Amino acid sequence: MAAESLAEENARLRREIESLRAEIERLRKLLEEALRSAKRQAAPFSRRSPKANPQTPGRKPGQQYGRRCRRPRPQHIDEIIEVAVPQSCPDCGGQVREEGTRSQYQTEIPEPRVEHIEFRLHVGHCRQCGRRVQGRHPRQVSQAVGSAASHLGPRALALATYLNKGLGLAYGKTAAVLEEGFGLRVSRSGLCQGLARLAGKAAPVYAALVQQVRGSPSVTPDETGWKVGGRLWWMWAFSTEQVTVYCIQPGRGFQQAAEILGSDYAGFVVRDGWSVYRQFVHAYHQTCLAHLLRRCREMQMVLGAKAGRFCGQVQAVLQQSLRLRDRYAQGQISVHGMAVARGRLEASMERLLQADHRRAENQRLANHLRREQDALFTFLYCQGLEATNWRAEQAIRPMVVSAQSVGRQSHPGGCQNAERLGQHSANLPATRTAPHLHAATAAMLSSIQYPGSYRTKHAKQLQLILPHHRKKTLDAFMGRVLQHLASARFKDTTAL
């Protein structure tokens, strides 16, 4: 009997050794592939292998051609140039007989020139208090005289701001564009100081945007590391359907998040699994399913098919919830059918989280899902609510790309410039950006405290499909939010 038990144990150990060897070999291949991918600097975004049957490049024939576009004829003609027909044929030299005219249109940029404006300021003194008083024109950007009497105008500052904060050009390249394109010579330090003054004038607009985010029914926050003076700070982004607010803070805690969102925010917070967001106890939370799905896929690659079974089951339930959302949005199921299917999904997730797991990786994932269990399927209760935090991640990217080309801040004072001026590039309309930015710049430099230089929309009401005991609370909340957004402070405005 002892010999048989030893033989069985020996066989079991041999099987475990073979399994562990196979696991080590699989992980070694994954590590080698990851190291090779990190060194592929020539094509960092290329696929590992090309498609077996790629589509033919170019336009497709027939209905698959796509949208047909051509440059429209201009509505206004500034100059007409008569082009005479040649007297002789360029091929045979024969005489040419004129038969008519045809029109061709060209849209050209006029030759740029720099305007030099002198403001002759009439100065006087008050007869009562003796204070020095001087006139001010709406086109002035400053009241300084003497050695600081020469300034850049609002159009120049608006273009420099758009190039630097909107397109991510460094100060040196921004100065080169102004000099090559317009003949305007300005130093990098002059641009830096001008944008700093503009950021100071933008404080009322920034404060109004913060208030608009706090009054929004749904906010998507996110944060990323940010170097300030060589030290690790954090750049926060709070995105709604209408606006995005950036904030660079020295920390990543609840205090920093509450400075923008407010500690008593009671709307919907669509966020990732960072524990700080759960401290907004008055809000309704939706955790990002994209982060969870990505985590499940990566764990299955590392753990293998057997140990990663739990991750696969969680992934299947989350993907099923997304398909259920799409079916309801397309009208394929009723409100009652949605409630039944939603209950089944929640019961399936509950059964998965009740089990214990031998692998520490699976146990950590289960513990995280238990903490986030109430925020997994909030989007199924509220049609129109996002299931991922893509909005904030998309908002962070322009700031990160701009920082890579322009550079991070060397001192905390530069953070306000990035927050407030990056704000304008993020929230201005996609079309006619330069005119809007010029108007906003002129307003701020003229000390006009304008509540917002962008056309804003009223928040789109989210269709609630909640049980009665939760629906009453959320209906009251949505009523307060929409009433707040319809007030005079946040009405649509076209002044700029």
How do residues 113-125 score in pLDDT, each as one tens digit?
888 899 999 999 9
Average model confidence (pLDDT) for the chain? 80
Q: What is the pLDDT of residue 496?
A: 27
pLDDT of residue 80: 93
Return the pLDDT at 112. Answer: 84
**pLDDT over 60 (residue 437):** no
Residues 343 and 225 occupy one common structural domain: no
Task: Look at residues 347, 362, 383 and tell me which one is the last residue of a structural domain.
Answer: 383
End residue of a domain, out of 320, 349, 383: 383
- Same domain for 379 and 298, yes or no, is yes
**217-257: per-residue pLDDT in tens?**
999 999 999 888 888 899 999 999 888 999 999 999 999 99
Higher pLDDT, 420 or 465: 420
Residues 374 and 304 in one domain: yes
Q: How many residues does the chain have?
A: 496
Q: What is the pLDDT of residues 358-413, one digit of tens each?
A: 888 899 999 999 999 999 999 999 988 999 999 999 988 888 877 776 656 666 66
Q: Are residues 237 and 262 in the same domain?
A: yes
Q: What are phi and psi of 125, to 5 degrees?
A: -130, 145
Quote the domain boundaries for residue 405.
204-283+390-430
Domain boundary among 325, 360, 383: 383
How sure is the predictor about 23, in pLDDT bands with cuts at 50, 70 and 90?
Answer: confident
**Buried/exposed 399-423: b ≥16 CB within 10 Å, e otherwise:** beebbeebebbeeeebbbbbbbbbb
Assess if residue 328 is contained within a domain: yes
278 and 407 fall within a common domain:
yes
Do 239 and 261 lie in one domain? The reply is yes
Higher pLDDT, 218 or 441: 218
In a domain, 257, yes or no: yes
Each residue of 51-103: pLDDT tens digit? 778 877 777 777 777 777 888 899 999 999 999 999 899 888 899 888 999 99
Q: What is the pLDDT, as a whole number, of residue 77?
A: 93
Instruction: For residues 279-295, give the mean pLDDT.
Output: 95
The reply to whether 264 and 349 lie within a common domain is no
On whether the CB atoms of residues 249 and 234 are closer than 8 A, the answer is yes
Assess whether 422 and 398 both reside in one domain. Answer: yes
What are the Cα distances from residue 343, in Å, to 23, 340, 472?
38, 5, 20
Cβ-proximal residues to 42 (8 Å cutoff; 6+ apart), any chain: none
Residue 226 belongs to a domain: yes
Confidence of residue 148 (pLDDT cuts 50, 70, 90): confident
Q: Is residue 61 part of a domain?
A: no
Report the share of the chain in percent with pLDDT over 90.
Answer: 38
Is 186 contained in some domain?
no
CA–CA distance, 81 with 101 (Å, rounded to integer)? 12
- Establish if 52 belongs to a structural domain: no
Are 414 and 171 contacting, i.e. CB atoms less than 8 angstroms apart?
no
Residue 117 lies in a domain: no
- In this structure, are residues 220 and 260 in contact, taking their beta carbons and an 8 Å threshold? no
Q: What is the total count of domains within the chain? A: 2
Does the structure show a pLDDT above 90 at 494? no
Q: What is the percent of the chain with per-residue pLDDT over 70, rounded to a whole number?
A: 79
Same domain, 258 and 344: no
| Same-domain check for residues 259 and 326 | no
| pLDDT for residue 260 is more than 60 | yes
Least confident interval from 225-234, 249-258, 425-434, 452-461:
452-461
Listing DSSP states for 159-198 in one string gives: HHHIIIIIS---HHHHHHHHHHHH-----HHHHHHHHHHH
- Residue 2 pLDDT class (50, 70, 90 cuts): confident
More confident residue, 229 or 456: 229
Q: Name the residue with higher pLDDT: 476 or 148.
A: 148
Q: Is residue 27 a part of any domain in this protein? A: no
Contacts of residue 107, Cβ cutoff 8 Å, sequence gap at least 6: 71, 74
Residues 220 and 238 in one domain: yes
- Mind listing the pLDDT tens digit for each residue in 191-225? 988 888 888 888 888 899 999 999 999 999 999 99
Give the residue ranges of DSSP H helices in 274-389: 289-307, 309-329, 335-354, 360-371
pLDDT value of residue 202: 84
- Please tell me which residue, 4 or 214, carries the higher pLDDT value: 214
Same domain, 309 and 377: yes
101: tokens are 């005219």
State which amino acid sits at residue 375. Answer: A
User: Can you tell me the distance from the alpha carbon of 420 to that of 406, in angstroms, rounded to the nearest whole number?
Assistant: 16
